[in-house]
Structure 1
Amino acid sequence: MKKLGLFLASISPGLFLIGYNIGTGSITTMASAGASYGMELILPVLLSCIFTYFLIIIFGQYTIVTGDTILHSYRKYFGTGFSAIVLVSLLISEWVACMGVMGVIVQVVQEWSKPLTSSGEGFSPILVTAIFGGIIYWIFWQGKHRFFERVLVVFVAIMGFCFIATMFMVAPSAETILDGLVPRIPRDKSEMLLLAGMVGTTMGGVLYVVRSILVQEKKWSIKDMKLENRDAAISAGLMFILSFAIMAAAAGTLHVNNLRIDNAIDMVNLLEPLMGRFSVTIFVVGIVCAGLSSLFPIVLLAPWLISDFRNTKRDLTTTSSKLLVLFGVLLGFVVPIFGGRPVFVMIVSQAAASIVTPLILILMMILVNKKAVMGDYTAKLPRNILLAFIILFTIAIAISGILGIF
């Protein structure tokens, strides 16, 4: 048991990224893709997870070698303007995600709970939001990084079990899965938006900015390079497995019955007749754990990113940090109070996140090629070729996101 605890502690940065990455944004985009197109879009997900593996390593190694985090470095070497653009873009994307994530959780729980209430309307959306928002803020109030890591490990473990178990109950055929690995061009703007959303949630630039912060928090040094590589492999590998499981569950049930997901409640309404109450309950538990494991890092990001930008100590006990986190929690009430389509909100937020990613990667490519910054760890030709290819890939996805949104 002690060895397991030490192992989990050694890969806690990767688990943190999984908790952030596989949230209701991933669930809604992967489930929507699986329902609408079966496994046709699994190849972009696989590519984005492979690219994410390499980018996690690159951004982590940059901080290991230089000791600097990303936004501070961008401000230091490229000026306040570029760094501010990245900061504002990431903050807006994350705050929009707060609304969408909580909206999805609440609608799913309300729909699932309808048979449990005498009125048949399910649990009160405001009450559910207050409970989950209170849990998130209570976790934050503990103020200890080690405690955050342990909570996320629990959320990620439950989420992973639920989605993988659901996939095995309704898995599509091997032929369908292999067909999804055949490259194809998006057929319409809806598919473009979904594609951008899926890649945005897997390769969002904020992921790499946060990676830098986590590596600095972990105090990894040059001697920890192998540990950093292992952590990156586990993180990216589990991201793909969970994304695959969600898409496969939707493809094996909704797509074969020509059903689509337009709202969060569709995931309960449409899946229950096909999978049964027990299977849907497991799926709902997975959605809730995914939402909470994603919401917590999201609300933490505002004070973390601002501290990174200003190059100040990441102190979550300050009044400004508490107010920023509270603001993020309160944004969760927007959809339950004012209504809206949280699935669409989530897809748009993930697509928007993909738009700033090329800028983040281009600036990093410049930095890792500076001998004065990286010394003996300056990027070699193979790494530069790979980075250039990934940047072109993210630009193509960003264009798809823009076309899909408008």
Structure 2
Amino acid sequence: MSERSGDQSFVKKLLALVLAFGPGIFAIGYTIGTGSVTSMIVAGSTYGMELLWVLMLSCVFSGLLIYVYGNYALLTGETALYAFKKHLKGGKIIAILIILGITFGQWNSLMGILGITANIIFEILAINFPDLRGIEYKTVLLIAIGIIVVMYGLLLIGKYTFFEKVLVIFVTIMGLSFLISLFMVYPLPMDVLKGLVPSVPQVPGGKMMVAAFVGTTMAAATFLSRPLFVQGKGWTRSHLKRQKKDAITAAVLVFIISASIMAVASGALFYQGQPVTKVLDMVQVLEPIAGKFALTLFVFGTLSAGLSSIFPCLLIAPILLADFQSGTLDTNSRQFRIITAVACLFALIVPVFGANPIEMQILSQVFNVFVLPLVIVGIILLINNKKLMRGNPTHVLVNAGLVGALFFSVVISYNGVMALIEFF
């Protein structure tokens, strides 16, 4: 009896720990979706661990920006785009450009995410019901419609705390799935160390992959939405330390989960000379190498990554618009319902036309890097405004980190332009 109660107590503690996770859960939801999974799989299977340094730098800068945007909100009570519009010269135009750029990138990503997620569910069903292969297009489309209708329904009935709990479930399943897979299939330790040395694969698509890595890991949507999610959590100036810890935890988890996906792809496929360009290719080749259990875990992880990203991607446009208008998000407003409905219809474009969503995913991640410099410059100007910060000067190391992030984002944006020129 005592043993059973001890087990129950452990489960309750574990559940409480998971549910105690703060707004950083949205950072993971925005960052690790099927687009990120696709990028990590393609990189791991094609280049091994060579791009690990890009992932690490992106996560370091991402964690810093999440922290800084959260701190600004707690110290001033203002959200990001509203502050840009109010305090920066030309801030209104900058904010509008950021809204358009991020919405374009996230909605394009949403199409790919829904397409891949629907295809994964179809593959699972087809294993048990082979006759579905004859009506693949219709089945995938119906699955996609079903997913987006359910997600839209959850958005209409939910508040911040509800959104957070849904994401916690998806992200926990995703993280555990990929981490357990890593214990079964892993790369050579020496290759992991070499991956921390900066280099760009001198092959077709190498530049594109570097830009996609940064676009998916150092996502501007993550930072800009942070103030609203911090508000939704009910945090105040008294939660500054907790906000910092939450930002660090989010960045560390993004790195661990993303690196695990890359490492599984590298360990399973790179050494066999089997580069893949699709999540479903990974699913098909992983089974003979790692077994059915690892395959099942990887499928569940990828599925959870897709579902955890659909939610934040649908939220991004109304979040940014609400931020720009007043700094407050009303999930019961007519504006919120209309914009999320349009996003849902937009998400169905890839499934309706039966297109391959993989290239769209990679391209959408590349487009995400172009608004990064604007987002970083904006917050540097705000946090160094003494009047706004009310006797809370920004530490010199934080400023140095932000300058480093700005330089990194400009270099990657240039790299992204070159990659797009080569692609088209």
TM-score normalised over the length of structure 1 = 0.95
Mapped partners of 1:41, 1:308: distance in 2: 35
For residues 7-406 of structure 1, the aligned pairs below 5 Å read 7-8=17-18, 10-78=20-88, 79-119=91-131, 121=133, 124-188=139-203, 190-311=205-326, 313-406=328-421
Deviation at 1:37, TM superposition (A): 0.3
The Cα offsets for residues 189-241 of structure 1, whole Å up to 9 and x where unpaired, read as 51111111111111111110011211122232222111011111111111011
Amino acid at match of 1:93: G
Mapped partners of 1:369, 1:43: distance in 2: 30
Deviation at 1:336, TM superposition (A): 1.5
Mapped partners of 1:133, 1:247: distance in 2: 28
Amino acid at match of 2:313: I
Amino acid at match of 1:214: F
Amino acid at match of 2:418: L
Deviation at 1:110, TM superposition (A): 2.6
Deviation at 1:6, TM superposition (A): 5.8
What runs of 5+ residues in structure 1 fail to find an aligned partner? none
Note closer, same or farther for the CA distance 1:389–1:189 as it changes in structure 2 (3 Å cut): farther
Amino acid at match of 2:212: G
Hey, what does 2:3 align to over in structure 1?
Answer: none
Hey, what does 2:4 align to over in structure 1?
Answer: none
Aligned residues: 406
In 2, are the aligned partners of 1:64 and 1:222 still within 8 Å (CA)? yes
In 1, are the aligned partners of 2:37 and 2:279 still within 8 Å (CA)? no
- The secondary structure found in structure 2 opposite 1:377 is coil
Of residues 206-215 and 133-142 in structure 1, the stretch that sits farther from structure 2 once superposed is 133-142
In 2, are the aligned partners of 1:156 and 1:289 still within 8 Å (CA)? yes
Amino acid at match of 2:158: G
Deviation at 1:386, TM superposition (A): 1.6
What runs of 5+ residues in structure 2 fail to find an aligned partner? 1-8
Mapped partners of 2:392, 2:279: distance in 1: 46
Amino acid at match of 1:136: M
Mapped partners of 1:7, 1:249: distance in 2: 27
Deviation at 1:9, TM superposition (A): 5.1
The Cα offsets for residues 164-192 of structure 1, whole Å up to 9 and x where unpaired, read as 11111111121221121122234145111
In 1, are the aligned partners of 2:41 and 2:279 still within 8 Å (CA)? no
Deviation at 1:355, TM superposition (A): 1.1
Deviation at 1:316, TM superposition (A): 1.4
Note closer, same or farther for the CA distance 1:120–1:5 as it changes in structure 2 (3 Å cut): closer
In 2, are the aligned partners of 1:112 and 1:268 still within 8 Å (CA)? no
Amino acid at match of 1:180: G
- The secondary structure found in structure 2 opposite 1:68 is coil
Mapped partners of 2:278, 2:243: distance in 1: 38
Deviation at 1:8, TM superposition (A): 4.4
**Deviation above 6 Å: which 4+ runs of structure 1?**
none
Deviation at 1:4, TM superposition (A): 5.6
Hey, what does 2:6 align to over in structure 1?
Answer: none
Query: What is the percentage of aligned positions where both structures have the same residue?
Result: 34
- The secondary structure found in structure 2 opposite 1:12 is coil
Deviation at 1:11, TM superposition (A): 2.8
Of residues 218-227 and 26-35 in structure 1, the stretch that sits farther from structure 2 once superposed is 218-227
Amino acid at match of 2:333: T
In 2, are the aligned partners of 1:111 and 1:269 still within 8 Å (CA)? no
In 1, are the aligned partners of 2:42 and 2:278 still within 8 Å (CA)? no
Deviation at 1:242, TM superposition (A): 0.3
- The secondary structure found in structure 1 opposite 2:49 is coil
- The secondary structure found in structure 2 opposite 1:119 is helix
Amino acid at match of 2:32: I
In 1, are the aligned partners of 2:161 and 2:233 still within 8 Å (CA)? no
Mapped partners of 2:201, 2:237: distance in 1: 43
Of residues 387-396 and 273-282 in structure 1, the stretch that sits farther from structure 2 once superposed is 273-282
Deviation at 1:125, TM superposition (A): 0.5
- The secondary structure found in structure 1 opposite 2:331 is coil
Amino acid at match of 1:32: V
Mapped partners of 2:243, 2:15: distance in 1: 17
The Cα offsets for residues 362-389 of structure 1, whole Å up to 9 and x where unpaired, read as 1111111111111322323322222111
In 1, are the aligned partners of 2:141 and 2:351 still within 8 Å (CA)? yes
Mapped partners of 1:313, 1:213: distance in 2: 7
In 2, are the aligned partners of 1:143 and 1:317 still within 8 Å (CA)? no
Amino acid at match of 2:70: G
- The secondary structure found in structure 1 opposite 2:330 is coil
Deviation at 1:10, TM superposition (A): 4.5
Deviation at 1:30, TM superposition (A): 0.7
Of residues 127-136 and 261-270 in structure 1, the stretch that sits farther from structure 2 once superposed is 261-270
Mapped partners of 1:117, 1:6: distance in 2: 39
